[in-house]
Amino acid sequence: MMKRTIRQIFFVFMIFLFAGPSNLVMFHVSGSTRVKVVNPIDKNEILKKNGGSDMEIIRIAVMAKRGKEKAIKKWQPTADYLTEHIPGYKFVVCPYDWDEIRRVVANGGADFVLTNPGMYVEFETLYDVRRIATLKNLRLGKPYTSFGVVFFRRSDRADIVTYKDIEGKSLAAVEATAWGGWQVGWWQLLQMGIDPYKDLGGLFFLGSHDNVVLAVQDKKVDVGVVRTDTLERMAAEGRIDLKNFTPLWLNKKYGDSFPFWLSSKLYPEWPFATASHTPMELNERVAVVLMSIPAESRAAKLGNYEGWTVPSNYQPIHETLRKLKVTPYEHYGDITLPKVMAKYWKEFFLAVMLIIGLGFASFYFKRLNQRLTRTQELLRDELFERKQAQKKLLFASEEVQEKNQELEKTLEQINNYQDQIIMQEKMASLGSLTAGIAHEIKNPLNFVINFSELIVELVDEIKEELEDHKTKFDGENWEYIHEILGDLISNASKINEHGKRSDSIVRNMLDHSRGNIGELRNIKMNTFVDEYVKLGYYGMRANDGDFNVTINTDYDPRVGHFEVIPQDLSRVILNIVNNACYAVKEKLESQGAGFEPTLWVETRVQGNGVIIIIKDNGSGIPKEIMEKVFTPFFTTKPAGLGTGLGLSMSYDIVVQGHKGTFEVESEEGEFTRFLVGLPGAMEK
């Protein structure tokens, strides 16, 4: 007696060690609707039937898979055993069908739940139902705590041998939401590369395991799937002859320990579970009594079980339902903002820091522009005064006129100096800013890029090392480990990609701020323009293979050779072409197939110089932002597609670097035209 008491206490400890607040549930499905229970078993009604007894009524919700009367007949003796051994409580079996038991548990209408493993996992995830014991099911005179499913056919169907043979055939199961009556078989088919909802000739749900067996026997369907021991039980009852059936894809992994036909792996049997509101003390007492039920008792015999044991591990059922994406995991894997933030928080942090840096830069440039404006006003006033002096000196002698000419030259130099001062102050300010950014961001970016590449190398080394120990893992763990390593490589590659992109942005800012002057070279202008227009177009095609645009060229044959800085001027043409291609692509996406993207490229002789004209029929530039297009860091492109430095750099290259002109004309929704004027002596 003492040994038995100690064993019961140990069992109780094990129950609540395994069945406490589960950390196996990955997330809770939100938005589940609570509705009123249809025809619930009322406690007052139970009290009336029991002569108004003052015992507390404890309701056990039972999944009545073979009808409510059979469920009561099978499980009420177990409830009576609990009543007999736990004073002060009256345990009553409340049978429900599939939909009713879900509503009852959702509304807290049951104190304990006895249902199949798949539905238990649903209740555990959604309503914090906890298992306290697992059934030792009696099958052909022996107890089993696990079961699976078996696929079978008639023995005379020799055309169905391998799993590929069932493609296009009809298959019968119990219910779409039944764990042992369908979902285990569904997952087994998917593992064999068969989607039952696409690849079968027909899928029928017949309500019970017996109906499925009889449908195959009567040639109404080609193949059936039922829980293990169904065929053996029906044969023992004399309802079928096992010789008339053949199992498909027998799993012999478990040997003689599981003698029934089996096509899948084994899963734990039905659990006896407690609702979240049921007192802990009552849970302990119920667990102890369940595990003490003797095999020869009336409860065990009518329930067709040997007894109850400590709760099994139901995590494999969680994993299967997650992979099938059915209740309670129908939303498993959906992308949410918290998941995105958790995965890309580093990129988000870098973006925020860059935005803050650009904000400081914008403020600094605004103050700088104010200072430049005041300086320009002072210079204009000085120029006005000098011009007034010139008018007076016109009436003086030839000597004074010569001095005026010298003064004109001085004024021209002042204008040039003014432009140089403005350019130098702008570049110095931007250089100071970008140098700071490079100092603060460049080194961390290098660490991000280098360590992401190192992660990939380390993962490859881990894979090589694991290959030498592959036999130490079973198939599922091996695949899971490789899936994790694959995710590590994918994440490291994304970190590397975004790190290099951030590094490219910093380099562009440095290039813009340095204002380096390249070497003047003599080029044939028409050939040069045509080459870089095509280069810009093919660069866009490299990023988007479906992109296409018609390019119409009209090069003036009178345009000859010019002294320019080729590497700078090429950037101007590439920037304009890239912007034009982006504009026509954006308009094509909004208008559809009826729109034909087109670019027009022209060169024209203008005095001793040349004017380059590039026009597109894209979405155009709104009037309200026309004045901002040459402002550094201003862009209308989405985040990640532009830095706002392209046109600003192009303007400085043409106007400051080549003493030319850079103009833009646009009509919103119709076209944009850039005109690049280059002075200088043209050579044939």
CATH number at residue 210: 3.40.190.10
Q: Reply yes or no on whether the pLDDT at 436 is more than 50.
A: yes
Same domain, 506 and 649: no
Counted domains in the chain:
4
Q: How confident is the model at residue 62 (pLDDT cuts 50, 70, 90)?
A: very high
- Provide the pLDDT for residue 341: 62
H helices, E strands: number in the chain = 20, 21
The pLDDT-based confidence of 139 (bands split at 50, 70, 90) is: confident
Residue 625: the pLDDT is: 74
Give me the chain's average pLDDT, please.
Answer: 80
Regarding whether 182 and 69 lie in a shared domain, the answer is no
381 plus 452 within the same structural domain: yes
> Confidence class of residue 39 from pLDDT cuts 50, 70 and 90?
very low
Q: Alpha-carbon distance 545 to 393, whole Å?
A: 68
pLDDT band at 391; cut points 50, 70, 90: confident
Q: Are residues 471 and 351 in the same domain?
A: yes
- Listed range (72-76, 133-137, 139-143, 213-217) with the worst mean pLDDT: 139-143
- Residue type present at position 619: S
Q: Kindly report which listed range (188-192, 220-224, 446-450) carries the lowest average pLDDT score.
A: 446-450
For residues 674 and 537, membership in a common domain is answered with yes
Distance of CA 445 to CAs 347, 433, 452, 500, Å? 11, 17, 10, 8
* Inside any domain, residue 236: yes
**Cβ–Cβ < 8 Å for 139, 233:** yes
Which amino acid does the sequence have at 582? Y
Q: What is the pLDDT of residues 551-595, one digit of tens each?
A: 999 999 998 888 888 888 888 888 888 888 888 888 888 887 788
Cross-strand pairs, 149 = 227
Picking from 267, 283, 301, the residue at the C-terminal end of a domain is 267
Return all residues near 339 (Cβ < 8 A) that are at least 6 apart.
none
Is residue 304 assigned to a domain? yes
Confidence band for 623, pLDDT divided at 50, 70 and 90: confident
364 and 254 co-located in one domain: no
Q: For residue 668, tell me if it sits in a domain.
A: yes
Whether residue 533 is contained in a domain is answered as: yes
Q: Do 528 and 637 share a structural domain?
A: yes
Q: Report pLDDT for 29.
A: 33
Q: Is there a single domain that holds both residue 487 and residue 368? A: yes
Quick one: what percent of the chain has pLDDT higher than 70?
79
Q: What DSSP string runs through 657-669?
A: ISS-EEEEEEETT
Nearest-5° Cα angle at 289, 283 to 292: 140
pLDDT reported for residue 669 = 82
Q: What residues contact residue 231 under an 8 Å CB cut-off, 6+ apart?
A: 150, 152, 213, 240, 242, 245, 260, 261
Please compute Rg for the chain using Cα positions: 41
Across-strand partners of 609? 606
Residue of 312 and 51 predicted with greater confidence? 312
Beta-bridge mates of residue 95: 62
Query: What is the phi/psi pair of residue 43, to 5°?
Result: -65, -35
Residue 484: predicted pLDDT: 87
Residues 483, 532, single domain; the answer is no
Q: Is residue 330 part of a domain?
A: no
Which of 221, 246, 267 lies at the terminal end of a domain, its last residue?
A: 267
Note whether 405 and 534 are same-domain residues: no
Of 662, 644, 638, which Cα lies nearest the Cα of 361?
644
Taking only the tens place, the pLDDT of each residue in 315-365 is 888 888 888 888 787 776 655 556 556 656 777 788 888 889 888 888 888
CATH of the domain at 604: 3.30.565.10
* Residue 627 sits in the same domain as residue 538: yes
What are the tokens at 146? 């696990």
Q: Tokens for 47, please give them.
A: 């009290």
Whether residue 547 is contained in a domain is answered as yes
The span from the CA of 266 to the CA of 228, in Å, is 9
What pLDDT, on the 0 to 100 scale, is given for residue 2? Answer: 44
Q: How far apart are CA 425 and CA 432, in angstroms?
A: 10
Strands 130-139 vs 146-147: parallel, antiparallel or unpaired: unpaired
Please tell me whether residues 619 and 474 are part of one structural domain: no
Residue 612 lies in a domain: yes
Residue 603 in contact with residue 525, Cβ under 8 Å?
yes
Q: Are strands 130-139 and 142-144 parallel, antiparallel or unpaired?
A: antiparallel
| Residue 366 in this model has a pLDDT that exceeds 60 | yes
Range of the domain at 527: 521-678
Domain finish residue from 499, 514, 529: 514
Residue 44's Cβ-side half-sphere holds a number of Cα atoms within 13 Å equal to 0
Nearest C-alpha neighbor of 620 from the set 590, 574, 583, 650: 583
